[in-house]
Amino acid sequence: MLDRKRLVYVAGHEGMVGSALLRRLKEKGFTNFVLRTLAELDLTDSVATREFFAQTLPDYVFLAAAQVGGIYANNTYPADFIWNNLSIQCNVLKNAMDCKVRKLLFLGSSCIYPRMAPQPMREEYLLTGLLEETNEPYAIAKISGIITCQSFNRQYGTNFISVMPTNLFGPNDNYDPLNSHVLPAMIRRFHEARLQNRERVICWGTGAARREFLHVDDLADACCFLMDHYSDSGIINIGTGEDLSVKELAEMIARVVGYQGTIEWDHSKPDGTPRKLLDVTGLTKLGWKYSIPLELGIQTTYQDFLKQGNEARGMNIRLDE
């Protein structure tokens, strides 16, 4: 069990994942935090990151800072995705090791698994096949972070764990129609279509691809659980173990938003990986299971969208989540 009185650094606390982690940590009794906004600390800056760790000496680190986005963003900014994520990870992990951080959690992604991996995807499928081309730079960066954590553990005796979450959604998401992930992008698209009385909404791909979705508050709870109960170098999946087609997702979001028009599919646009479903047997055996059903999670996320206002949180791809 982590000592609730020790100093905790949540890297990327302003983003969707980082803010959820901060909320959950406070709920679990942690009170001692060191936090820096992107404006205050650029984790791609090696000198600034080194000075931050040397001055603050955090005991526990949650590495949730990353450059993230959907298919369009990954295809448009591949160099940014690999370079910025590698820089963030290398700077944080090296300085966490140098400053003798007691425990660190590195957040990976389900995109680390091969495009045609058997379903559901087990942790041992890592590095057994070709990656999905549309997000390969991001995936390679995350795989590098996993191997770095494992290598530091083996050579220096650090306690760095790596978790692989499935597709996430929830409060504080990015609702940009191009640069965001599929679920929040659809929330905005269907909302605007309803307001403008559009007869149809066109979605990318065929709708046949299958995806798994986890509410970010469930992810945060799982991460806190694993920091208390898991200290193995092997990666561990975090998800629901359940999936649905993108077409079914679109229909569910339209229902929640109240859009009653026609949904059409642009087959000229990519589907991405045909299916992404995580095997969560390892996490289940440890004693954790998700608690927020998908449709309920979408309902609360839509309310968050309405609360923020109907504009996207930012057209730029952010480095804070």
**pLDDT tens digit sequence for 280-294:** 999 999 999 999 999
Q: Does residue 201 lie within any of the structural domains? A: no
Q: Is 15 annotated in some ligand binding site? A: yes
pTM exceeds 0.85, yes or no:
yes
**Distance between CA 50 and CA 125 in Å, rounded?**
34
Q: Does residue 113 lie within any of the structural domains? A: yes
**Distance between CA 143 and CA 111 in Å, rounded?**
9
Q: Which of the residues 77, 138, 230, 259 is marked catalytic?
A: 138
Give phi and psi for 242, each to the nearest 5: -130, 145
Number of compact structural domains in the chain:
1
- Mind listing the pLDDT tens digit for each residue in 139-172? 999 999 999 999 999 999 999 999 999 999 999 9
pLDDT band of 71, cuts 50, 70, 90: confident
Cβ pair 32, 60 in contact under 8 A: no
Cβ pair 266, 205 in contact under 8 A: yes
Say yes or no to pLDDT of 208 above 70: yes
Q: Is 70 annotated in some ligand binding site? A: no
Q: Does residue 2 lie within any of the structural domains? A: no
- Asked if 113 is an active-site residue, the reply is no
Provide the domain limits for residue 107.
8-174+212-242+276-294
Output the pLDDT for position 315. Answer: 32
Could you give the percent of the chain with pLDDT greater than 70?
96
Q: Is 163 annotated in some ligand binding site? A: no
* Mean pLDDT, range 62-79, rounded to an integer: 89
Cβ pair 136, 272 in contact under 8 A: no
Q: Does residue 301 lie within any of the structural domains? A: no
Cβ pair 126, 143 in contact under 8 A: yes
Cβ pair 87, 142 in contact under 8 A: no
In the three-class reduction of DSSP (H, G, I as helix; E, B as strand; rest coil), residue 60 is classed as strand
* Window from 90-99, 154-163, 177-186 with minimum mean pLDDT: 177-186
pLDDT band of 274, cuts 50, 70, 90: confident
**Distance between CA 267 and CA 88 in Å, rounded?**
36
Q: Please enumerate in sequence order all residues whose Cβ is within 8 A of that of 196, keeping only pairs 6 or more positions apart, or say none.
A: none
Say yes or no to pLDDT of 310 above 70: no
Q: Does residue 265 lie within any of the structural domains? A: no
What is the CATH classification number for the domain harbouring 89?
3.40.50.720
On average, the pLDDT of the chain sits at 93
**Distance between CA 188 and CA 169 in Å, rounded?**
13
Task: Return the DSSP state at 190.
Answer: H
Q: Does residue 217 lie within any of the structural domains? A: yes
Q: Does residue 50 lie within any of the structural domains? A: yes
In the three-class reduction of DSSP (H, G, I as helix; E, B as strand; rest coil), residue 298 is classed as helix
* Mean pLDDT, range 199-220, rounded to an integer: 96
Q: Does residue 22 lie within any of the structural domains? A: yes
